C-alpha cells in the first residue's frame, strides 16, 4: 500500500513516523517548502542567530532513508480523488492508496490596500523567513500588524537585530482575546520594556508603496503615517485548503474530518492545522492550529490508515509560548475574563514579570485551568488535578508538586496560598508540598 | 519629563557602549602585548647569566656545559629561534665531547673485542670466555670503564658458559661493552629529559630587554589591563536588556560560529598549548611574566605550570563574572559558577601553593584519579609525611566512596560542572562555544568508544604503576611501566586534555576533553547512567522540537530526541550544566534528583494520544 502525505510539518511527519512503526507500507511525504522536516516554531531562532537551519531539523538526514520514509520535494497542483492520484508541479502524476492532507496554515490577509506590495509578508514558512532576511538588510523600521503569537515573535526577531519596530494591535491590550487582563497587561509592559513602539487600539488602514513597489509607510486607523520598509502581517492564520477546493472533499474553514480524522472521501484524511473536526468537544474549537494538535493527530491518523480504528480525542487543552523573556503555559480552560460560575485566584510577583492564575468552579471548587507567566508548572500534575476535578484547596495544599522551575529558583507557592487565604476570610489552607519529585510521584501514584 | 528619561537612557547606553568598546580595546592591547612580548628579548651570555644557569645544571655537567656556553659570550642575539638553535648546538657539542671522553670509540671497542677473541678457549667445538682471559685484556679499556665492564660481562665468564662461534662471542662482547661505554658517556651528557629545562633556564638567564628591565610594568600592562579590559567589556552585559537568555546573534558572529575570529582564536589556543607542553623554552617571557606572583606565593620564580595555573584561574574568574551577567535570571547558573570559581581559586590554585610552602605534597585536593593520572605515581611522596598520607587516603576515598555516592545522589554534575577545574574552564571561558559540539549519532558513537578506551588505558597504566611500586619491577609482560606512563602523559595528559581539550574550544565546542577523553568523566558517567537519582525531566508533551536544547548542549547530547518523545534524559555524558533547561523556550526541561526506578527515571513517555513509544532510531 502506498500512503502519501502532503506536508512535512509536525503533523505529516508524526503521521509518517507512526505509520512506519505500525507497518511496512510505502510512505511518501511531499513538501514544496523544504527537503527535510524542520521545526516551524524555531524559525525565529534562525533569524535571531540562536541556531542555524540545520539545528532546527529534529532528525538527521540519514534518518529518513533508514526508516524508509520517502521524501519528495514538489508542489501538488491538483488532486484527483476518483483516480487516487496527485498532479505534481513537475507534471508527474503520483498514485496513492491512502492520502493524508497535512497542508498547514496560511497567514490571514484582510484586504488591506497594499497588502501584496514587496516587503509585506507574514511569517509561516521557511520562504517567509528567507524573505524577511532579505528585507532586513537596509531596514530602518518594521511595522507589525496583529497582536498575536506570530506578531510578538516577529517583534522579538527584529529587536534582536536592533531594528526599530512599531507594533500595531487592534485590541486595547495585547492578545486579550486569549489572555486575561492582568497577563495581557504584563505582556504590554514586557513589549515596551524591550523598546518596541506598541500601539494599542490601532489598526492598519493602508500600506503605501515607494516607486519600486516596496512598502514605504503604513497609514493607521488613527490617521498617522508611519515610515517603514517592512510590514509584517500577523493577524492570525487560516487553514491552507486551496488544493481540495476543486474536489469533492467537504470543507468549512478547514478540511472537515470525523473522529477518525477521515474526510468525506474514502481513504483521504486530514490532520493538523488544515483539519477541522466536525464534532469538537464542548467548549473546544474544531480547528486548534497549534503545534501540539499536529503532534497529537499524527499517531492517531497513523493507526487509522494502518487499519486500527482509533478515534481522535482532543487532549486536555494546553499550550505554551514565550513573549520575549516571559514564558507562558496554560493548562485546561482559562478564559480572558472571569466567566459565569468561575472564580479566579490570581497571584502576581512584585516585579510584574511572573504570575499564576488558577481558575476554579465557584460552586464546588474544582479546578478548571492554570495560566502561568514566567513560572513553569508540571503538565502531568496539572492535568492530574484537572482530570480528577481536584478541589482548589487540595490543589493549593499540594501546589509545590506542580512547580517545574529550575533548581534554586525562588518558590512562590506559599505566597499564592496566603493570597487565597486572604481573599477567602476564614480559610486556613496550608502549603504541605514543596517542589520535588518525591511529592510528584506520591501525588500521581507512581511507583518510586 | 519623559524626554529627560529618554535622554538619560540614551546617555546610559552611550556610556555602556563606550565602556564596552574601551574594554575590548584594552583587552586587545593586552593580548597584543602578550604576543609581542615573545619578540622583545635580546640574548647575551655574561658572567652573571652563567652564574644563574649553574645551579640548574646537574653538578657533574656544570663545568662542561658552562664552558660551552661561554663560547657564545660577547655577542648579542636578537632572534629567539636562531639563539635557541645556537644553544642547542653548544649542548650537542658538549654531548659529543662527553661521548669522546667518557665513552668508547668504535676503534677502541673493536680492538678490545679482537683481543678478547684471542683469549677465548675452544671446548668441545664451542668457545668459552674465562675470567683469566678477560683479565688479560682488561687494560685495553679506559680505567673508568673497567669495573662496569666486569659487571656487565659477568654472565659471559660463568663456568660452563659456551658460545657457538667466534662471531657469537664477538657480538655479545660488542653489545655489552658498547653499552658500558654509552652508559658512561650518557652519565655526563645532557639527557633528553634535562634538555628542555636547561634550555629554558639558559634562555631565561641570558635574556635582556625592556620586559626584563620592567617586569612589573608588563605584568600590569598584560595581566592587569587584560583582566580589566575583559571586565569592562563584560560589565554592560549586566544591564543588557531584561534578564533572560542572551543568545542573539551567536551564529552570526565570526567568533562563536567558527568564522575567521573563531579559527584565529583556536589557532592561538592550540599554539599556546603546544608551546606550553613541548617548547616552553620559547615562552620564557610568558612564564617570567608571573614571576612577581610566584615570588609572592611560593618564594621562587614561576614555573610554566605556575604560569598556566595562574592564567587558568584568572580566566575562570573573569569569565565567571560574564556568566553572572549572562545568567542573571538563573540562580542555578549563578551558584554553579560561584562554585567552580571557588574550587579553582582555593583548591586548584592557592592551597597547593600553601602546601608547597609547608614542604608538603603539592596536591589539588579536589582532583580525582584517574583525571589526576599522576596520583599513584606519587605514593612515596605522599607517604613521606603524615599529612601526605592523609592526602593519599583522601584521594582514594574520593575515588571509591565520593564518586559513587555523590553521583548516585546528584549525578555527575556534582563534579563536572560544580567542582572540576576542566569543567570550570569549560563552563566559563568555554561558554561562548558550547553550541559548536557535534550532535550526530556518529559522534556519540565515537565518544563512547574513545572515552571508555581512555578509561581502560588509565586503569591499565595505573595498574602497572602499582605493580612497579609493590614489586620494584619495571616491566610486566613486556610493558615497561615508565614507558607506558610517559605515553599516557604525552597522548592523554598533554595532547588530548590540553591541546585538543581547550585548543579546540572555538572549533568543536568547549567539552572536547570532558566528552571524548576524560577517564574520570567516563567513570562518573557509568555511575550516572546505571545507578543515579539524577535525570533531566521532560515536562509532558510540551516540546516543540525547536532544537535550542540540543544546540546548546556542550556535551553534544541530542536532548530534543528525548524531549520531543516526552521522555526523560538519562545519559552518561550529561554534566548537568543546566543550559538545556534554561534555553528551552517552553520550559520543558528541568534537572532533577529523585526516586530512581527504570520507569521513573527514563521512560515517562507521555500523553493519552501518543502511540509514540519509540521503535525507530
Which tens digits make up the pLDDT trace of B281-314? Answer: 999 999 999 999 999 999 999 999 999 999 999 9
Q: Quick: pLDDT tens for B82-124.
A: 999 999 999 999 999 999 889 888 899 999 999 988 988 888 8
Residues 6+ apart with CB under 8 A from B537: A404, A437, B568, B589, B590, B591, B592, B604
Q: Is the pLDDT of residue B605 over 80?
A: no
Domain extent, residue B598, equals: 533-612
CATH code for the domain of B539: 3.30.70.20
Is residue B578 classed as helix, strand or coil in its secondary structure? Answer: coil
Chain B residues whose beta carbon lies within 8 Å of the beta carbon of residue A370: none
Q: Which residue of A has its CA nearest to B438?
A: A55
Whether residue B516 lies inside any domain: the answer is yes
Looking at residues B334-342, what average pLDDT do you find?
98
Q: Is the pLDDT of residue B406 over 50?
A: yes
List domains and CATH numbers for chain A: 2-106+238-305 (3.50.50.60), 120-235 (3.50.50.60), 325-444 (3.30.390)
Whether residue B425 lies inside any domain: the answer is yes
Q: Is the pLDDT of residue B405 over 70?
A: yes
The list of chain A residues with pLDDT below 50 reads: none
Cross-chain CB nearest to A299 (options B250, B545, B609): B609
Q: Are A298 and A304 in contact (CB under 8 A)?
A: no
Query: Measured between alpha carbons, how far is A259 from A280 in angstroms, rounded to an integer?
Result: 9
Looking at residues B519-529, what average pLDDT do you find?
97
Please list the helix, strand and coil fractions of chain B in percent, rounded to the nearest 5, in that order: 70, 5, 30
Whether residue B124 lies inside any domain: the answer is no
- Of the pLDDT bands very low, low, confident and very high (cuts 50, 70, 90), residue B606 is low
Cross-chain CB nearest to B546 (options A45, A299, A441): A45
Contact A303 B597 (CB under 8 A): no
Same domain for B555 and B468: no
CA distances, A358 to each of A184, A294, B538, B603 (Å): 16, 27, 23, 30
Q: Which residue of B has its CA nearest to A375?
A: B587
**Domain total in chain B:** 2
Whether residue B368 lies inside any domain: the answer is yes
pLDDT on residue B617: 42
Same domain for B577 and B458: no
Same domain for B513 and B500: yes
Q: Which of B511, B532, B553 is the last residue of a domain?
A: B532
- A10-22 and A291-305 helices cross at what angle (nearest 10)? 30
Burial A100-118 (b: 16+ CB within 10 A, else e): bbbbbbbbeeeebebbebb
| A260 class by beta-carbon count within 10 Å (0-12 exposed, 13-18 middle, 19+ buried) | middle
pLDDT on residue B241: 86
Q: Which residue of A has its CA nearest to B533?
A: A437
Cross-chain CB nearest to B594 (options A10, A52, A438): A438
Looking at residues B450-472, what average pLDDT do you find?
95
Query: Measured between alpha carbons, how far is A325 from A345 in angstroms, rounded to an integer?
Result: 24
Query: Measured between alpha carbons, how far is B504 from B258 in angstroms, rounded to an integer?
Result: 10
Looking at residues B338-359, what average pLDDT do you find?
96
Contact A408 B248 (CB under 8 A): no
Centroid of chain to Cα B325: 29
For chain B, give the percent of residues with pLDDT over 70. 96
Instruction: Retrieve residue A347's grid coordinates.
Output: 497571584
Chain B residues whose beta carbon lies within 8 Å of the beta carbon of residue A190: 242
Q: Is the pLDDT of residue B268 over 50?
A: yes
Q: Which residue of A has its CA nearest to B551?
A: A55
Query: Measured between alpha carbons, how far is B560 from B557 in angstroms, rounded to an integer?
Result: 9
Q: Is A197 left (phi over 0), alpha (psi -120 to 50) or beta?
A: beta
Cross-chain CB nearest to A49 (options B248, B561, B564): B248
Same domain for B577 and B443: no
pLDDT on residue B608: 40
Whether residue B47 lies inside any domain: the answer is no
Query: Measured between alpha carbons, how far is B187 from A203 in angstroms, rounded to an integer?
Result: 93
What is the spatial order of strands in the sheet that B76-77 belongs to? B76-77, B42-44, B207-208
Query: Measured between alpha carbons, how far is A159 from A165 in angstroms, rounded to an integer?
Result: 7
Same domain for B295 and B439: yes
Q: Are B153 and B177 in contact (CB under 8 A)?
A: yes
Q: Quick: pLDDT tens for B494-515.
A: 999 999 999 999 999 999 999 9
Same domain for B440 and B547: no
Q: Which residue has the higher pLDDT, B607 or B214?
A: B214
Q: Which of B503, B532, B561 is the last residue of a domain?
A: B532
Query: Measured between alpha carbons, how far is B69 from B446 in angstroms, rounded to an integer?
Result: 50
Q: Is the pLDDT of residue B609 over 70?
A: no
Q: Which of B478, B505, B532 is the last residue of a domain?
A: B532
The shortest C-alpha distance from A222 to chain B (Å) reads 23
Query: Measured between alpha carbons, how far is A343 from B316 in angstroms, rounded to an integer?
Result: 52
The shortest C-alpha distance from B403 to chain A (Å) reads 22
Same domain for B564 and B470: no
Query: Measured between alpha carbons, how far is A395 from A251 in angstroms, rounded to an integer?
Result: 42
Whether residue B355 lies inside any domain: the answer is yes
pLDDT on residue A447: 63
Q: Quick: pLDDT tens for B35-92.
A: 999 999 999 999 999 999 999 999 989 999 999 999 999 899 999 999 999 999 999 9
Contact B606 A379 (CB under 8 A): yes
Burial B488-526 (b: 16+ CB within 10 A, else e): bbeebbbbbbbbbbbbbbbbbbbbbbbbbbbbbbbbbbb
Same domain for B442 and B354: yes
- CA atoms lying within 13 Å on the CB side of residue B273: 20
Q: Quick: pLDDT tens for B370-392.
A: 999 999 999 999 999 999 999 99
N-term to C-term CA, chain B = 62
Instruction: Retrieve residue A56's grid coordinates.
Output: 532546527
- Of the pLDDT bands very low, low, confident and very high (cuts 50, 70, 90), residue B474 is confident
- Of the pLDDT bands very low, low, confident and very high (cuts 50, 70, 90), residue B604 is low
Size of interface A-B (CB pairs under 8 A): 185
pLDDT on residue B614: 43
3-state DSSP of chain A: CEEEEECCCHHHHHHHHHHHHHCCCEEEEEECCCCCCCCHHHHHHHHCCCCCHHHHCCCCCHHHHHCCEEEEECCEEEEECCCCEEEECCCCEEECCEEEECCCEEECCCCCCCCCCECEECCCCHHHHHHHHHHHCCCCCEEEECCCHHHHHHHHHHHHCCCCEEEECCCCCCCCCCCCHHHHHHHHHHHHHCCCEEECCCCEEEEEECCCCEEEEEEECCCCEEECCEEEECCCEEECCHHHCCCCCCECCCEEECCCCECCCCCEEECHHHEEECCCCCCCCCCCCCHHHHHHHHHHHHHHHCCCCCCCCCCCCEEEEEECCEEEEEEECCCCCCCCCEEEEEEECCCCCCEEEEEEECCCCEEEEEEEECCCECHHHHHHHHHCCCEHHHHHHCHHHHECCCCCCCCCHHHHHHHHHHHCCCCCCCCCCCCCHHHHHHHHCCCC
Q: Is the pLDDT of residue B607 over 60?
A: no
Q: Is B512 left (phi over 0), alpha (psi -120 to 50) or beta?
A: alpha
Same domain for B540 and B527: no
Cross-chain CB nearest to A379 (options B250, B541, B616): B541
Same domain for B544 and B403: no
Q: Which of B153-157, B183-187, B453-457 has the highest mean pLDDT?
A: B453-457
Same domain for B547 and B487: no
Contact A324 B242 (CB under 8 A): yes
Whether residue B424 lies inside any domain: the answer is yes
Same domain for B542 and B521: no
Query: Measured between alpha carbons, how far is A388 from A390 in angstroms, rounded to an integer?
Result: 5
Q: Quick: pLDDT tens for B583-599.
A: 999 999 999 998 877 66
The shortest C-alpha distance from A155 to chain B (Å) reads 14
Give the H/E segment covering residue B346. none
Whether residue B309 lies inside any domain: the answer is yes
Q: Cell 588509565 maps to which residue?
A: B458
Contact A55 B551 (CB under 8 A): yes
In angstroms, what is the C-alpha Rg of chain A? 24
Amino acid at each position: 500500500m502506498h500512503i502519501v502525505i502532503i506536508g512535512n510539518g509536525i503533523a505529516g511527519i508524526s503521521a509518517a513516523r507512526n505509520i512506519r512503526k505500525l507497518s511496512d507500507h510505502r510512505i511518501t511525504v511531499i513538501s514544496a517548502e523544504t527537503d527535510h522536516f524542520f521545526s516551524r516554531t524555531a524559525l525565529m531562532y534562525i533569524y535571531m542567530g540562536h541556531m542555524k537551519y540545520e539545528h532546527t531539523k529534529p532528525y538527521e538526514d540519514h534518518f529518513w532513508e533508514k526508516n524508509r520514509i520517502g521524501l519528495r520535494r514538489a508542489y501538488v497542483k491538483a488532486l484527483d480523488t476518483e483516480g487516487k492520484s496527485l498532479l505534481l508541479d513537475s507534471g508527474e502524476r503520483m498514485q496513492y492508496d491512502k492520502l493524508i492532507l497535512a497542508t498547514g496554515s496560511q497567514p490571514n490577509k484582510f484586504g488591506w490596500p497594499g497588502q501584496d506590495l514587496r516587503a509585506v509578508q507574514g511569517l509561516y514558512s521557511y520562504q517567509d523567513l528567507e524573505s524577511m532576511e532579505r528585507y532586513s538588510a537596509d531596514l530602518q523600521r518594521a511595522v507589525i500588524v496583529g497582536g498575536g503569537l506570530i506578531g510578538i515573535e516577529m517583534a522579538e526577531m527584529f529587536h534582536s537585530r536592533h531594528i526599530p519596530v512599531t507594533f500595531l494591535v487592534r485590541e486595547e491590550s495585547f492578545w486579550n482575546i486569549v489572555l486575561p487582563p492582568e497577563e495581557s497587561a504584563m505582556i504590554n509592559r514586557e513589549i515596551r520594556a524591550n523598546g518596541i513602539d506598541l500601539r494599542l487600539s490601532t489598526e492598519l488602514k493602508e500600506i503605501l508603496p515607494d516607486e519600486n513597489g516596496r512598502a514605504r509607510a503604513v497609514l493607521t486607523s488613527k490617521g498617522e503615517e508611519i515610515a517603514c520598509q517592512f510590514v509584517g502581517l500577523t493577524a492570525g492564520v487560516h487553514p491552507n485548503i486551496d488544493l481540495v477546493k476543486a474536489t469533492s472533499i467537504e470543507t468549512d474553514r478547514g478540511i472537515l474530518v470525523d473522529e477518525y480524522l477521515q474526510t468525506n472521501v474514502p481513504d483521504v484524511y486530514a490532520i493538523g492545522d488544515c483539519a477541522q473536526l466536525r464534532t469538537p468537544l464542548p467548549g473546544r474549537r474544531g480547528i486548534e492550529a497549534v503545534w501540539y494538535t499536529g503532534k497529537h493527530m499524527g499517531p492517531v491518523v497513523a493507526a487509522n490508515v494502518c487499519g486500527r480504528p482509533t478515534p481522535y480525542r482532543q487532549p486536555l487543552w494546553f499550550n505554551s509560548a514565550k513573549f520575549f523573556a516571559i514564558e507562558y503555559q496554560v493548562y485546561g480552560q482559562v478564559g480572558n475574563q472571569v466567566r459565569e460560575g468561575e472564580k479566579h485566584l490570581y497571584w502576581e510577583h512584585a516585579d510584574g514579570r511572573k504570575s499564576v492564575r488558577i481558575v476554579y468552579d465557584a460552586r464546588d471548587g474544582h479546578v478548571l485551568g492554570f495560566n502561568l507567566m514566567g513560572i513553569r508548572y508540571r503538565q502531568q500534575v496539572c492535568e492530574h488535578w484537572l482530570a480528577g476535578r481536584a478541589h482548589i484547596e487540595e490543589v493549593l495544599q499540594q501546589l509545590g508538586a506542580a512547580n517545574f522551575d529550575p533548581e534554586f529558583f525562588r518558590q512562590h507557592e506559599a505566597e499564592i496560598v496566603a493570597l487565597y487565604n486572604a481573599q477567602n476570610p476564614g480559610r486556613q489552607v496550608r502549603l504541605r508540598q514543596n517542589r520535588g519529585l518525591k511529592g510528584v510521584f506520591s501525588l500521581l501514584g507512581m511507583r518510586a | 519629563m519623559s524626554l529627560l528619561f529618554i535622554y538619560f537612557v540614551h546617555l546610559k547606553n552611550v556610556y555602556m557602549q563606550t565602556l564596552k568598546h574601551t574594554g575590548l580595546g584594552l583587552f586587545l592591547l593586552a593580548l597584543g602585548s602578550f604576543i609581542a612580548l615573545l619578540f622583545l628579548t635580546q640574548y647575551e651570555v655574561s658572567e652573571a647569566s652563567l652564574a644563574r644557569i649553574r645551579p640548574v645544571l646537574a653538578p657533574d655537567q656544570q663545568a662542561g656545559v658552562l664552558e660551552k656556553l661561554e663560547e657564545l659570550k660577547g655577542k648579542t642575539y636578537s632572534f629567539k629561534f636562531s639563539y635557541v638553535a645556537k644553544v642547542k648546538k653548544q649542548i650537542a657539542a658538549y654531548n659529543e665531547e662527553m661521548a669522546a671522553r667518557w665513552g668508547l670509540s668504535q676503534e677502541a671497542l673493536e680492538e678490545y673485542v679482537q683481543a678478547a677473541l684471542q683469549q677465548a678457549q675452544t671446548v668441545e667445538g664451542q668457545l668459552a670466555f674465562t675470567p683469566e682471559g678477560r683479565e688479560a685484556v682488561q687494560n685495553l679499556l679506559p680505567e673508568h670503564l673497567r669495573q662496569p665492564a666486569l659487571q656487565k660481562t659477568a654472565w659471559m665468564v660463568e663456568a660452563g658458559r659456551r658460545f657457538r662461534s667466534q662471531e657469537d662471542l664477538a657480538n655479545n662482547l660488542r653489545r655489552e661493552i658498547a653499552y658500558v661505554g654509552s652508559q658512561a658517556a650518557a652519565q655526563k651528557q645532557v639527557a633528553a629529559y634535562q634538555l628542555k629545562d636547561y634550555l629554558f633556564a639558559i634562555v631565561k638567564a641570558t635574556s635582556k630587554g625592556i620586559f626584563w628591565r620592567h617586569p612589573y610594568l608588563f605584568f600590569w600592562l598584560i595581566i592587569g589591563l587584560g583582566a580589566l579590559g575583559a571586565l569592562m567589556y563584560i560589565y554592560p552585559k549586566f544591564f543588557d536588556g531584561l534578564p533572560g537568555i542572551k543568545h542573539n546573534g551567536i551564529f552570526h558572529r565570526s567568533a562563536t560560529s567558527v568564522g575567521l575570529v573563531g579559527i584565529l582564536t583556536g589557532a592561538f589556543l592550540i599554539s599556546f598549548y603546544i608551546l606550553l607542553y613541548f617548547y616552553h623554552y620559547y615562552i620564557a617571557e610568558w612564564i617570567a611574566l608571573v614571576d612577581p606572583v610566584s615570588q609572592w606565593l611560593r618564594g621562587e620564580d614561576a614555573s610554566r605550570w605556575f604560569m598556566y595555573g595562574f592564567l587558568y584561574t584568572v580566566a575562570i574568574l573573569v569569565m565567571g563574572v560574564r556568566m553572572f551577567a549572562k545568567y542573571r535570571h538563573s540562580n542555578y547558573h549563578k551558584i554553579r559558577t560561584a562554585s567552580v570559581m571557588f574550587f579553582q581559586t582555593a583548591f586548584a590554585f592557592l592551597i597547593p601553593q600553601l602546601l608547597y610552602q609547608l614542604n608538603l605534597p603539592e596536591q589539588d585536593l579536589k582532583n580525582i584519579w584517574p583525571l589526576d593520572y599522576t596520583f599513584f605515581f606519587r605514593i612515596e611522596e605522599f607517604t613521606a609525611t603524615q599529612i601526605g598520607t592523609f592526602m593519599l587516603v583522601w584521594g582514594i576515598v574520593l575515588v571509591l566512596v565520593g564518586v559513587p555516592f555523590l553521583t548516585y545522589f546528584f549525578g555527575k554534575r556534582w563534579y563536572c560542572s560544580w567542582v572540576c577545574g576542566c569543567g570550570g574552564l569549560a563552563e566559563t571561558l568555554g561558554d561562548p562555544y558550547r553550541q559548536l559540539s557535534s550532535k550526530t549519532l556518529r559522534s556519540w558513537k565515537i565518544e563512547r568508544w574513545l572515552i571508555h578506551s581512555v578509561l581502560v588505558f588509565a586503569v591499565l597504566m595505573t595498574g602497572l604503576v602499582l605493580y612497579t611500586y609493590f614489586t620494584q619491577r619495571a616491566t610486566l609482560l613486556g610493558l615497561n611501566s615508565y614507558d607506558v606512563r610517559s605515553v599516557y602523559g604525552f597522548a592523554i595528559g598533554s595532547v588530548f586534555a590540553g591541546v585538543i581539550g581547550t585548543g579546540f574550544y572555538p572549533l568543536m565546542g568547549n567539552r572536547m576533553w570532558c566528552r571524548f577523553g576524560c577517564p574520570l568523566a567516563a567513570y562518573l558517567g557509568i555511575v550516572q547512567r546505571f545507578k543515579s537519582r539524577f535525570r533531566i525531566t521532560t515536562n509532558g508533551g510540551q516540546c516543540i522540537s525547536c532544537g535550542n536544547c540540543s544546540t546548546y548542549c556542550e556535551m553534544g547530547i541530542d536532548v530534543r530526541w528525548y524531549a520531543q518523545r516526552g521522555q526523560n534524559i538519562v545519559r552518561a555524558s550529561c554534566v548537568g550544566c543546566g543550559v538545556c533547561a534554561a534555553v528551552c523556550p517552553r520550559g520543558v526541561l528541568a534537572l532533577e534528583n529523585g526516586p530512581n526506578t527504570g520507569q521513573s527515571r527514563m521512560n515517562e513517555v507521555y500523553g493519552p494520544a501518543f502511540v509514540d513509544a519509540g521503535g525507530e532510531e
